[in-house]
Structure 1
């Protein structure tokens, strides 16, 4: 049975290369042979309806990349079965905590953290999600501090399927190295996803300001470059909703009003709550002179700001000689408020529907 939004000849923007492609409808899918470690073509049209659906759910198509400017890449065969795929990028300076935030966010979503908003989460790309779990979620749960994203990464970190009151939508997350985000190279492949992004989470470490700090010469510079790249398409100022996440906020967990927001329970959507938290975060960043990190709020029509903590505390050097050089969260990880930026994005893009969702991110 054809999915509601799978239309012959449908134009889809690839989240990796940002080319618009005509989605194939020849009934063929690529399946990955784990033993041979390669993709093989399967003519799903010859299968029964149940087998065809199963093959497509775990299969892929190869993006034709008409521009020919990216390495070979693949998309889930069901990517175009749903309305308006979401492409969400995380933007921030080196050492801002993007990888820890994304890992904690996806982990909490899978643990049912979006249920109070009527949203559940599944993997759209099974292999990619399993790789993400193996490389990031499981080490994080064991208390291992994660390494920063390698420079030059062009593939999505994970592709999820979210089902909410506003329908089912694929959500593709990009976590790109801060060094790549701060590159002024016009054709930087790692930031290509910004050409097609329809939501962005800007990540600012709580102790940074635009005067600079260890590991980040100017934390606002990556924000500035990303904002200008996004505004290269003028309608993005209205079309693209954004959230600003102040990471490592556990370092100020006993300081009002930070403590209030880190401990706030998730009990349904309340636009006034988002507005109040945004007000407090804006005041915090303004007081610290983080003017560049407030640029998204000024540039985009819908924006929310949040205090978050991916781990709940700082990592320290491991004691074991076997783990020499490794940083660990010795008390385990205790994420706080990490879903707030994602909930805001889902509300501003219609996945979470209703009158309250319509007011999130507005002045």
Structure 2
């Protein structure tokens, strides 16, 4: 690894996958992925023209040195350190809480320019990773298929975007980890929390169809584990009540679902929705799911619906295979992300400064 150019201090980065810190290399070697053989090849780009070099760097990777040596080999986009401080967003929730559907709908809407009214644009920083995310999650979701939950033991990021807003441009990494891993007491199972600097806590609305019991219960092991490991005085948090379409005729959720997607950031409106979600969760007896509100200095609460309805079996002989018969109709899925972007300075201004504050 060569030394940084004279006068430019080395940049220390924290890997979102292994949570180790290391000095970002400043040498002409990048790794390119060979799709045919599914392997990475180290390439020296120093002799290439600037146009060719920049093209390969945009498509290339840097291998994380993982100083602790406790994580399998992994790579970050070669341009990961070329922008502002990375934002790592973790989705935390119990099994079958709807994390995967919410994340898929959220990223899809962001790519469809859903954040443009806030002055924010989104592109793929890791093109290869986003292609896989689109193939395995977004396209099946658009077909109305029920998405499989996140598999246990997966420590890789779901997607890495480049988000440009009034506050600059920053890499944004999303982690969707299996609820079973989040509830595990094994610290290796939820290591990603050490690199997280914003959290979306996902609580499913009354959920008897999948679980046979109400999710408004007094314990939430996923939330408890995350709250215990995260510094709530420094990180912004969101509580998203998913599957809120089941509450479309129930106040106060119906008020917010009928509004649809918001086009302007208003701190008073965010506070009003947060108050109503808090009241709903408190009345439902889901007090453990409200703990992030008490522990995090900046926190907002939102009603969201990723699909707009429940999935039903495709074939009576195979009840496990389901789809959404009326297609998918995401509602307010960007509101949690807008709050995070406001609380982390990507969306700026007086209204953004007030979001999530008492």
TM-score (norm 2): 0.93
Report the secondary structure of 2:112's partner residue: helix
Distance apart, 1:178 and its partner CA: 0.4
Q: How does 1:207-218 map to 2 (within 5 A)?
A: 207=206, 214=213
Q: How does 1:1-363 map to 2 (within 5 A)?
A: 9-185=10-186, 187-188=187-188, 190-207=189-206, 214=213, 220-230=220-230, 236-264=231-259, 265-319=261-315, 325-363=320-358
Deviations 1:189-214 (A, max 9, x none): x31111111000000001169xx964
| Contact 2:163–2:169 (CA under 8 A) maintained in structure 1 | yes
Distance apart, 1:350 and its partner CA: 0.4
Distance apart, 1:215 and its partner CA: 9.3
Report the secondary structure of 1:79's partner residue: coil
Distance apart, 1:42 and its partner CA: 1.4
Larger mean CA deviation between 311-320 and 53-62 belongs to 311-320
Report the secondary structure of 2:81's partner residue: helix
Distance apart, 1:49 and its partner CA: 1.4
| Contact 1:95–1:215 (CA under 8 A) maintained in structure 2 | no
Distance apart, 1:343 and its partner CA: 0.3
Output the CA distance in 1 between the equivalents of 2:53 and 2:338: 34
Distance apart, 1:147 and its partner CA: 0.9
Larger mean CA deviation between 261-270 and 102-111 belongs to 261-270
Displacement over 3 Å in runs of 4+? 212-219
Output the CA distance in 2 between the equivalents of 1:305 and 1:169: 24
Output the CA distance in 1 between the equivalents of 2:171 and 2:269: 27
Report the secondary structure of 1:326's partner residue: strand
Deviations 1:276-318 (A, max 9, x none): 0000000000111111100000001000000000000000000
TM-score (norm 1): 0.92
Alignment match, 1:3 = none
Output the CA distance in 1 between the equivalents of 2:351 and 2:320: 47
Distance apart, 1:37 and its partner CA: 2.0
Alignment match, 2:3 = none
Deviations 1:163-195 (A, max 9, x none): 10000010000000000100112x32x311111
The total of aligned residue pairs comes to 347
Deviations 1:59-115 (A, max 9, x none): 000000000000000000000111110000000001100000000000110111101
| Contact 2:95–2:179 (CA under 8 A) maintained in structure 1 | yes
Gaps of 5+ in 1: 1-6, 231-235
Distance 1:215 1:63, change over 3 A: farther
Deviations 1:295-348 (A, max 9, x none): 000001000000000000000000497x77411001000000100000000000
Larger mean CA deviation between 53-62 and 259-268 belongs to 259-268
| Contact 1:30–1:40 (CA under 8 A) maintained in structure 2 | yes
